[in-house]
Amino acid sequence: MSAGNNWEERWHPLREEWIIIAAHRQDRPWRGETVSSQTSAPEYDPDCHFCPGNLRVSGIRNEDYRGIFVFDNDHPCVGPHTPHDVPPAPGIYRNRPAEGLARIVCYSPKHNLTLAELGVSAIEELLKTWRDHYAELGDRPEVKHVLVFENKGEVVGVSNPHPHCQIYATNFVFKTIETEARVSREHFEQTGRVLFQDIITTERDDGRRIIYENSSAIAFVPYFARYAYECYVAPKTTHFGLAGWSKGELRDFAQALKVMLVHYDNLWRMPFPYVMTLHHAPTDGGDHSTFHFHIEFHPPLRKPNLLKYLAGPEIGGGNFLSDTLPEDKAEELRNASS
Ligand SMILES: [Zn+2]
Ligand SMILES: [Zn+2]
C-alpha cells in the first residue's frame, strides 16, 4: 500500500468531472457476485459465426480468411437500412433515423487467439486496418464520428468469444469524445498547449503510474482513473488518429499495446476482461488539431473474481467512486511480468 493519502477527490481533466478515491474502504466486507474465469477455446469452432468458412446469422458465408477479416455487422445498431420515415416524436422530444455503419473486425482466423497473444507485427497490421476504416467511414457525409472498441470477456457481455472488435460510425459524436474534443480545444486556447501532452508530461514527471514506455509511446494508469485497472496507451506525438504516423511510431505503439495486454493477462494469470476504446478525433469537419489520439482500457474487475458494480454514485449520480488507489494498481500491473 502506498504512503500518503488514499481518501480524496481527483479531477478528471478529459471528462471534466470529479472521481472520489476511497481506497481506505477497499477491504470492507463484501458479499457481492463473483466471476468465474473462462475456459479455454479451440482454434476453430464449427458453430462460430466469425470463424473462416462458416455461415453467419445473415446467411452470408465468411471467406476462408488468413489475416484480419472485416465485415458489416449483421445486427447493426446504426446502418444504411435504418427506417428513414421515423414516427414524429411527441411534444418537446426529438428523434431521427439511426444513420451510420457498423462493422466487425476479426483479429485473426484463430478462434482462440486474443489481442494480447497477437505478435507485434500483427498488431501493427491491425493499427493500419483501424486507420483505413476510420478514414473511409469518416469521409462519409453522414458520419460524425468513428468509435472502435472491443468488449473482452463474458463479464462485459461479449456475444461471440472469437477475438474481434467493433466499429460504430455514427451520425453523432459520442459524449466522451465530444467532451474530450471540447476541453482539448479550450485548454489549447487558454495555455497554448495540448491537454494530453500536459497529461503525459505530468505522468512522466510523477512516474508512479507508468506501466511501460518506449521512445514514442507510453502506457499508464491515469492519476484520475475511474476503474481500478484503467489504463491509457498513447503516442507521445499528438495525432488526431492513426494516420500520418512514422513506421517507428506504429511499431512502438504496437509494442506498448502488446506489453500492456500481456501485463493484464499476467496479473491474475487469466484472460483479463476489459472494454477497450480507441479515442479518435470526431469526423464532423471541425478543427481537431488539438485532439490527441489514445486507447483507453476500462477493466470491469477490481479483484480476480470481483466485479466493480456501478451503482448509486455512478449510475444514479454520474460520477465514479473508486475503491482503489491508481498508484497501487499501477504498481501491481507493472510487477505482473511481461
Ligand atoms: Zn470463431
Ligand atoms: Zn479518451
Q: Which residue has the cell 470491469?
A: 300
Span from the CA of 111 to the centroid of ligand 1 (angstroms): 4
Identify whether the C-beta of residue 204 lies closer than 8 Å to the C-beta of residue 218: yes
Q: Is 164 a catalytic residue?
A: yes
Cα radius of gyration (the chain): 20
Span from the CA of 147 to the centroid of ligand 2 (angstroms): 11
Span from the CA of 130 to the centroid of ligand 1 (angstroms): 20
Q: Which ligand is nearest to the CA of 69?
A: 1
Identify whether the C-beta of residue 276 lies closer than 8 Å to the C-beta of residue 150: yes
Q: Which of 145, 162, 164, 263 is catalytic?
A: 164
Distance from C-alpha of 327 to C-alpha of 8, rounded to nearest angstrom:
13
Q: Which residue has the cell 468458412?
A: 53
Span from the CA of 48 to the centroid of ligand 1 (angstroms): 5
Which pLDDT band, with edges at 50, 70 and 90, does 158 fall under?
confident
- How much is the average pLDDT of 13-20? 95
**194-253 confidence digits (pLDDT tens):** 999 999 999 999 999 999 999 999 999 999 999 999 999 999 999 999 999 999 999 999
What is the pTM (predicted TM-score) of this model? 0.94
**114-154 confidence digits (pLDDT tens):** 999 999 999 999 999 999 999 999 999 999 999 999 999 98
**38-72 confidence digits (pLDDT tens):** 557 899 999 999 999 999 989 999 999 999 999 99
Q: Which ligand is nearest to the CA of 14?
A: 2
